[in-house]
Protein backbone atom coordinates (compact mmCIF):
# COMPACT_ATOMS: atom_id res chain seq x y z
CA UNK A 1 0.00 0.00 0.00
CA UNK A 2 1.04 3.63 -0.27
CA UNK A 3 2.24 3.62 3.35
CA UNK A 4 4.47 0.56 2.67
CA UNK A 5 2.27 -1.81 4.67
CA UNK A 6 0.84 -5.14 3.60
CA UNK A 7 -2.69 -5.80 4.77
CA UNK A 8 -2.93 -9.49 3.94
CA UNK A 9 -2.41 -12.04 1.23
CA UNK A 10 -5.50 -11.96 -0.94
CA UNK A 11 -6.81 -14.70 -3.16
CA UNK A 12 -8.15 -13.63 -6.52
CA UNK A 13 -10.21 -15.86 -8.84
CA UNK A 14 -7.94 -17.30 -11.56
CA UNK A 15 -10.35 -16.23 -14.30
CA UNK A 16 -9.50 -12.58 -13.53
CA UNK A 17 -5.80 -13.09 -14.29
CA UNK A 18 -3.80 -13.19 -17.50
CA UNK A 19 -6.33 -11.82 -19.99
CA UNK A 20 -5.76 -8.87 -22.30
CA UNK A 21 -5.58 -6.56 -19.28
CA UNK A 22 -3.00 -8.75 -17.52
CA UNK A 23 -3.38 -8.63 -13.75
CA UNK A 24 -5.22 -5.28 -13.70
CA UNK A 25 -8.64 -6.90 -13.03
CA UNK A 26 -7.11 -8.31 -9.82
CA UNK A 27 -6.41 -4.76 -8.64
CA UNK A 28 -10.08 -3.85 -9.02
CA UNK A 29 -11.15 -7.01 -7.20
CA UNK A 30 -8.81 -6.26 -4.29
CA UNK A 31 -9.82 -2.59 -4.21
CA UNK A 32 -13.45 -3.65 -3.86
CA UNK A 33 -12.51 -5.97 -0.97
CA UNK A 34 -10.60 -3.10 0.67
CA UNK A 35 -13.61 -0.79 0.30
CA UNK A 36 -15.90 -3.31 1.99
CA UNK A 37 -13.41 -3.92 4.81
CA UNK A 38 -12.94 -0.16 5.30
CA UNK A 39 -16.69 0.38 5.59
CA UNK A 40 -16.97 -2.31 8.26
CA UNK A 41 -13.89 -1.23 10.21
CA UNK A 42 -14.34 2.53 9.94
CA UNK A 43 -10.78 2.95 8.64
CA UNK A 44 -9.97 4.75 5.40
CA UNK A 45 -8.84 2.81 2.34
CA UNK A 46 -5.29 3.26 1.08
CA UNK A 47 -4.08 3.27 -2.50
CA UNK A 48 -2.43 0.06 -3.64
CA UNK A 49 1.23 0.69 -4.42
CA UNK A 50 1.94 -2.64 -6.11
CA UNK A 51 0.62 -6.16 -6.59
CA UNK A 52 2.72 -9.29 -6.86
CA UNK A 53 1.86 -12.91 -7.33
CA UNK A 54 3.02 -15.44 -4.78
CA UNK A 55 5.57 -17.89 -6.17
CA UNK A 56 6.51 -15.78 -9.20
CA UNK A 57 10.16 -14.77 -9.50
CA UNK A 58 10.74 -11.02 -9.61
CA UNK A 59 12.56 -9.70 -12.66
The domain tally of the chain equals 1
Cα separation, 13 vs 17, whole angstroms:
8
Cα separation, 19 vs 5, whole angstroms:
28
**Domain presence at residue 14:** yes
**Domain presence at residue 16:** yes
User: Which residue segment(s) compose the domain that 32 sits in?
Assistant: 1-53
**Domain presence at residue 58:** no
Tell me the per-residue pLDDT of 30-58, one tens digit each, with 9 for 90 and over: 999 989 988 999 988 888 888 877 766 66
With pLDDT > 90 as the criterion, what percentage of the chain qualifies? 14
Phi then psi dihedrals of residue 48, to 5 deg: -80, 125
User: Pick the residue with more confidence: 45 or 9?
Assistant: 45
Beta bridge partners of 19: 22
Please count the other Cβ atoms lying within 10 Å of the Cβ belonging to residue 21. 12
**Domain presence at residue 59:** no
33 touches 13 (CB < 8 A): no
Amino acid sequence: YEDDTQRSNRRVPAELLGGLEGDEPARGYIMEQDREIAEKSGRPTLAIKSLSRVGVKKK
